[in-house]
């Protein structure tokens, strides 16, 4: 809890830097992709026929993507800062706080940040009329889990980095392709056959599928327990590796 409090105190002074990503991005995405592009999609004529208007179908996928980006950003730069730049991890270890406490506190704070992103995005979805009040609370748990599924492996990745050049590579070569090809903007059945299995293996697709099903009241491609199990596995394995790397780099 002391580690979570530390992150909260820092965020109290730096929250203005996240205003755009937290509040403006949902509005801009839904305006541009949901209403702008969606108006063309809804006119029909394409090979993909959706049971809902495009804005309603798209918004839950964007919600899952937003939590992914929040979790990834909070798992990269703050971890590198603690390890290399301001080295507050080393300062914390001079107190009774252990490396395990650092990791648990890190994920505790991440959960709060991702939850905040999900709540704000869901509120914007209600404002745009893409989801009703009766279902808005249902989309928050799967979207938060989608974000945390990335927090585990990305934290482990950041914990072993020696150079900060690897931070931007995550967004360039992992996050951006997943954002485009994980079923957010179109069903993955429209992908080439060789790409579909790759999409199935990514936590974002499972998060998008479960969040969209919760929002629209439709069935998921797989049993919901499978989607949850995959995302929990990414989180658990990543967190376990991160815990070991924190100890190895900061103590051993």
For residue 243, the model assigns a pLDDT of: 96
46: pLDDT strictly greater than 70 = no
Mean pLDDT on 130-154 = 95
Neighbours of 219 (CB within 10 A): 10
Number of domains in the chain: 1
From 113, 29, 102, select the one nearest 71 (Cα to Cα): 113
Q: Which domain covers residue 176, as residue numbers? A: 2-40+48-250
What angle in degrees, to the nearest 10, is found between the helix axes of 224-250 and 99-128? Answer: 140
49: pLDDT strictly greater than 60 = no
Residue 193, Cα to own-chain centre: how many angstroms?
Answer: 26
User: In which band, very low, low, confident or very high, does the pLDDT at 47 lie, cut at 50, 70 and 90?
Assistant: very low
Q: 219 φ, ψ to 5°?
A: -80, 150
**pTM strictly above 0.85:** yes
User: Between 148 and 24, whose confidence is greater?
Assistant: 148
């Amino acid at each position: 809890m002391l580690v979570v409090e530390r992150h909260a105190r820092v965020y109290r002074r730096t929250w203005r830097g996240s205003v755009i990503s937290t509040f403006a991005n949902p509005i801009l995405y839904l305006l541009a992709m949901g209403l702008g592009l969606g108006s063309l999609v809804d006119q029909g004529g394409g090979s993909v026929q959706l049971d809902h208007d495009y804005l309603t179908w798209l918004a839950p996928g964007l919600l899952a993507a937003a939590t992914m980006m929040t979790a990834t950003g909070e798992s990269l730069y703050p971890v590198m800062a603690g390890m290399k730049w301001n080295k507050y991890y080393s300062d914390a270890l001079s107190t009774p706080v252990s490396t395990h406490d650092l990791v648990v506190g890190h994920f505790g704070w991440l959960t709060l940040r991702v939850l905040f992103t999900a709540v704000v995005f869901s509120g914007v979805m209600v404002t745009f009329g893409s989801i009703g009040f009766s279902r808005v609370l249902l989309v928050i748990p799967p979207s938060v889990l989608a974000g945390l599924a990335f927090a585990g492996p990305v934290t482990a990745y950041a914990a072993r980095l020696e150079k900060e050049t690897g931070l931007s590579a995550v967004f360039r070569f992992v996050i951006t392709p997943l954002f485009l090809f994980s079923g957010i903007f179109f069903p993955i059945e429209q992908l080439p056959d060789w790409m579909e299995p790759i999409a199935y293996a990514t936590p974002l697709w499972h998060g998008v599928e479960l969040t969209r099903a919760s929002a629209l009241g439709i069935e998921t491609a797989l049993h919901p327990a499978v989607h949850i199990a995959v995302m929990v596995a990414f989180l658990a394995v990543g967190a376990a590796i991160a815990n070991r790397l924190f100890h190895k780099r900061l103590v051993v």
